[in-house]
Structure formats: structure tokens, C-alpha cells
Amino acid sequence: MSMTCVPSVVDNWILTAQCPSQLGTVDVVTRYLREHNCYVTEHQSFDDQASQQFFIRVEFRPLGGELDISRFEEDFAPRAREFGMSFELTPPERLTPVVIMVSRADHCLNDLLYRYRTGQLPITIKAVISNHPDLAPLAEWHGLEYHHLPITAETKPEQEAAVWRIIEQSGAELVVLARYMQVLSSEMCERLSGRAINIHHSLLPGFKGAKPYHQAFEKGVKLVGATAHYINDDLDEGPIISQGVEPVSHADSPEDLVARGRDIECLTLARAVSLHVQRRVFLNGKRTVVFQR
């Protein structure tokens, strides 16, 4: 059974930019928009004194009819150059093409598909990739391509090459690791830098290895959480986009902690995807600047 998905869209144009910190950074953006009869509906900016970098995100709508994206970028480019400013213009109703990677756990995939199906995320899902066949029916019920690509230590280079071909051929701009339980190679991490989001449990203290929530239960933890971040070559230590946390108590069983953890993982991952596709996340070295809604 295939589903007709009507994802939500952003009604306004989005202009994002960053440059070295200097006088006039806000003015060069807002003045240009005013001169071109564009009404600003949302504006957020941040000057990071530590990195000496400036970040800005503006939503706007043109008051004089249609906006010519090529003309806009061509006219704004000389002003941006004066500030060493890189910028991106995103038109309304643009859906970000996404590939989702998953293993056997279905909670994050199911949540993302629900939000996609009900129009909560401005994305178009191009494919689901998995190293197991288990979740094929779920993807196919949504009318999505499902690629089962098994992996072993010996076949990892070939498997990742196949994954990369799917990403390239689909035109995906974002890869979401929705509980994909494989460590990506350094080469793949480099290729996907800034465009792949991972989710994992986030417990204090940290518990590694099998059954982390059961380990947390044995230690009597009082908080469970999750972290969504961009991948890098340091396992689970990429630039953080979003985190979630929830209190638990002595009355919660290990199974309760697992259930709470799954819920938080779903919410945190969906929030991170939403922030990314709405151009609210900027990479700032090993950190991120995130303009919340």
C-alpha cells in the first residue's frame, strides 16, 4: 500500500549567512531586503565572540510580486563579498530530499514517517537504506524505496559504496541515521560532513556497550535523554543539534527506561531534522549555532 504524503512547507523565503565578525553585518542583509521591497517576518542573528564569527537567518516575503532567485543572488553577492560573507537563499515550499538509514529498531523510522505522512516535516524521502530486511514492509507501506544492503567487516567498503551511489542518485541533501547501528567509515563521515544526522541515547553517567538502559537502572539514574548530532569521525561526538531529557525514578523498571528512551530519541531526532531543513543550524567549528523556533 502506498501513501500520499503532503509535507508541510515554509511559506517565506529564507536567507542564511555567516561571515567574520565586523561592523555592519546585520545592516548589509536587512538594508538589501528593504531596498528590494522584502518584508522581514523573522530575524535571528548571533555574534560568537569566541570564534569571531557572525551568523544570521532571516525569513521574508517580497511585497512586489515574484522574486527572481538568480537575480537576487547576483545582486546580493557583491555586498556579501565585502564582508567575506557566504550565504544561501531558500525559496518557499522547498522540500529537502532525504535518505533515511536504519537497522532493526523501528521507533525513530516510524516516527519520522508519521511526521512526513502528516505534513509535519518539509522533506521528501527518497529512500530508506538498511543492513537488515526487517523494516521493508513499513517503508513500502509508505510507498518508499527500501534498499537492503547487508554488511560485514569484509564487505563494508562495497556496502558503503552502494549506500553512496543511492545517496548521489537520489539527490539527497540530508541523510538521517534513525538508529542505524553501524559505524560509518572515516571516508563516509567526511563525505557526509554537515549533512548527516545521528541519534543516540544520552545518559549520565555514560553507559557504553550492550543494554545501556539496564546499566543505568543498576546505577539508579534519575535522568534519561537523547542527543542528535551531525556525524563525524569521532563516534557519537559530532556537533550537537538537539538534546532531550526526562526525569525517571526508582519506580521505573529497565523496560520503562527503554520505553522512555525511545520516546525521547524520536522527539529529539525529529526536532533536529526539522531545525536542519529549515536552515536553523550553522556549523561553527566543532559546535553549532541553532536558531530555535
Looking at the fold, whether 31 and 101 belong to one and the same domain comes out as no
Would you place residue 7 in the very low, low, confident or very high pLDDT band (cuts 50, 70, 90)?
Answer: low
Q: Do 152 and 111 belong together in one domain?
A: yes
% of the chain surpassing 90 pLDDT? 81
User: Would you say residue 2 has pLDDT above 50?
Assistant: no
Q: Is the model's pLDDT at 61 over the cut of 70? A: yes
Q: Are residues 57 and 109 in the same domain?
A: no
- The pLDDT tens digits for 212-227 are 888 888 889 888 999 9
Answer yes or no: do 135 and 259 share one domain: yes
pTM: predicted TM-score of the whole model, two decimal places: 0.92
Residues 102 and 240 in one domain: yes
pLDDT of residue 3: 52
Residue 202 phi/psi, 5-degree rounding, is -140, 100
In a domain, 4, yes or no: no
Domain range for residue 131?
A: 96-290
- Residues 233 and 104 grouped into a single domain: yes
Query: Do residues 269 and 235 make contact, with C-beta atoms less than 8 angstroms apart?
Result: no
CATH (domain of 49): 3.30.70.260
Q: Annotated active-site positions, please?
A: 236
Pick the last residue of a domain from 90, 107, 136: 90
pLDDT at 4 over 90: no
Instruction: Assess contact for 47 and 21: CB atoms under 8 A.
Output: yes
181 pLDDT higher than 80: yes
- For residues 221 and 204, what is the distance between their CA atoms, to the nearest angstrom? 7
What's the length of the chain?
Answer: 293
- Quote the Cα angle for 111-115-116, to 5°: 115
Helix axes 212-219, 254-277, angle to 10 degrees: 120
The model's pLDDT over 90-136, given as tens digits with 9 standing for 90+, comes to: 999 899 999 999 999 999 999 999 999 999 999 999 999 999 999 99
In a domain, 8, yes or no: no
| Percent above pLDDT 70 for the chain | 96
**Which residue type does 37 have?**
N
Same structural domain for residues 211 and 79?
no
